[in-house]
Structure 1
Amino acid sequence: MGQAANRVDRKEVRSRSKQRQKNMQKLMWVTGGVLIIALIVAVAFLKPADKQADPNSFDFNAMATLGSKDAKVKIVEFGDFKCPACQVFSQDVEPQLKAEYIDKGLVSLSFMNYPFIGPDSRTAALAGLSVYHQNNDAFWKYYDALYKNQPNESEIWATPDYLVQLAQSEKLDIDFDKLRSDIENETYADQLSDQMSRVKPLGVTGTPTLFVNGTKVGGADAMKYDAVKAAVDKALAAVEEAGK
């Protein structure tokens, strides 16, 4: 009788042991799931709202720049010459920036290409690079003319003929034969590829996208002068504070 009772006790012990193991496994799964969820939530809260860029990572000597390269605040614009939103920036925001900050030596504006709207966006970008490499000041005149005369984005309009004719009508101080040759031979294709390689790492998803001393200003804010001005003033204040 005692041996039978011992066998029953051992069976019960083993049964309880197995049940405890199952309970522990369930607890571990539940705890692990909770920890994973907590980690995901923590990462979501810690993730910055906007991408930041090291201002020194931009090669300003290889970009068309409006204003002093020694300006305290440097703005980098990613743009597409076929982009209607970029047209808004060029006509509504850039002139005010120029009058209030750029002409006073406080801010500079540099341009990087992100041609994504159509195949002729790339053609226009190559034309812009050709003009820039011939004459930085002529680039900004060309920049204004391209946006001012911008046809509908659904049209294929940025052809070599159109781009050269526009440069001629604006009487740019450049070699027009070289402009055509640079477009057709894609002279600056490597530089264009290098500029486009910056898009994804910086989280650029559309144009215009600005980086004001490395701080991203994108979306609708890039088309509102007050929003851009606020970012510029904040950057100027940070520079002044750092210099004290």
Structure 2
Amino acid sequence: MADSERVSTRRSSPDNGLRTVTRRRLLATSGIVALSGCLGSERNESSNSVDGAVANAPIPSAPASFTYARTGTADRPTVTYYGNWKCPYCAEFSTGFLNDIIRDYVVPGDISLRFRSLSSIDGEPFLGPDSPRAARAGLAVWNVDPETYWRYHEYVFTNQPPESETWATTDKLVAFAEEAGVTKTEQMRTKIREQAYVSAIQETSRAAVDAGVSATPALVIDGQTVNPLSDEQQTRTLIEQLTDGS
């Protein structure tokens, strides 16, 4: 599947109800899929270790042939996850339901899943001026030490600082990588400072527009864009329909 995916657009609207736990969910209302959140949910830093399905997600052979982080066998149908490293709803998804998707569909070989960081919209940083730096850091880990990428992915989202803070500094991102077990952190630091992967990040923004994605988290599944937090069953149904046709 090409890195750019053109799919139908679904409009979104936020839910006004807030959960009393550390996360707030957006709910689908009247059949309209809510794609957005990221409205200031606070989160405590705790340096939590990780060892779940995402942290241990399998990577394809020849990972260097893939621009964006991927898990699963490359020749399987691809689901694309658009997220943002600073989005608290992405953290909720990545540390929750994404583990089930990896366990139930990626590990058995039904799908391949690709992560693309949406760090700018309409040419402006999305969720803070440090979002593009966080996107570069993720791509740097994927490119210099892909075996550790998914552990890094899970570690950052598990220990994600509050969205309101401009926390994605080079030093903080490298520290997260060190704590997650990334071995080539100096190469990662260099890539961040050199502003590597700018074209890949810009292409993600263009692909998100084509996919009708204007907020995160969002999954693109066989031409449909869905918020995986709003309806887990709908997400599973779309994935199973995709694999049935493969």
Q: What TM-score does the superposition give when structure 2 sets the normalisation length?
A: 0.68
Partner of 2:237: 230
Report the counterpart of residue 128 of structure 1 in structure 2. 138
C-alpha offsets along residues 122-156 of structure 1, whole Å, 9 cap, x if unaligned?
11101001001113232111110110000110011
Structure with bigger helix share is 1
> Which residues in structure 2 correspond to 1:85-124 (within 5 Å)?
85-115=89-119, 116-124=126-134
Query: In structure 2, what is the Cα distance between the partners aligned to 1:171 and 1:211?
Result: 30
Name the structure, 1 or 2, with higher relative contact order (CA <8 Å, separation 6+): 2
Tell me the CA shift for residue 109 of structure 1: 0.9
Q: 1:69 is matched with which residue? A: 74
Q: Which has the larger radius of gyration?
A: 1
Contact 1:93/1:224, CA 8 A, preserved across alignment: no
* Aligned residue number for residue 213 of structure 2: 204
Aligned to 1:37: none
The 1-side partners of 2:189 and 2:103 are apart by 33
Match of 2:165 in 1: 155
2: distance between equivalents of 1:104 and 1:86?
Answer: 24
Counterpart residue type for residue 181 of structure 2? K
What CA distance in whole angstroms lies between the structure 2 residues aligned with 1:223 and 1:153?
Answer: 21
- After TM superposition, the structure 1 = structure 2 runs for residues 144-223 of structure 1, keeping only pairs within 5 Å, are 144-173=154-183, 175-218=184-227, 221-222=228-229
**Residues 88 and 223, structure 1, Cα contact 8 Å, conserved in 2:** no
Q: Once the two structures are aligned, what percentage of the paired residues are identical?
A: 28
Contact 1:92 1:225 in 2 (8 A): no
State whether residues 128 and 143 of structure 1, in contact with CA within 8 Å, keep that contact through their aligned partners in structure 2.
yes
What is the RMSD of the two structures over their aligned residues, measured on CA atoms? 1.8
Any unmatched runs of 5+ in structure 1?
1-47, 52-59, 240-244
- Please say if residues 142 and 149 of structure 2, whose CA atoms lie closer than 8 Å, have aligned partners that are also in contact: yes
Rounded Cα–Cα distance in structure 2 between residues aligned with 1:106 and 1:234 = 11
Aligned residue for 2:131, secondary structure, equals helix
What's the TM-score once normalised by structure 1's chain length? 0.69
Q: What amino acid is aligned across from residue 149 of structure 1 in structure 2? A: N
Q: Deviation of residue 50 (structure 1)?
A: 4.0
1-structure distance, mates of 2:230, 2:151: 20
1:21-40 superposed Cα distances (whole Å, 9 cap, x missing partner):
xxxxxxxxxxxxxxxxxxxx
Q: What runs of 5+ residues in structure 2 fail to find an aligned partner?
A: 1-7, 12-64, 120-125
**Worse-superposed segment, 196-205 or 106-115:** 196-205
Equivalent position of 2:43 in the other structure:
none
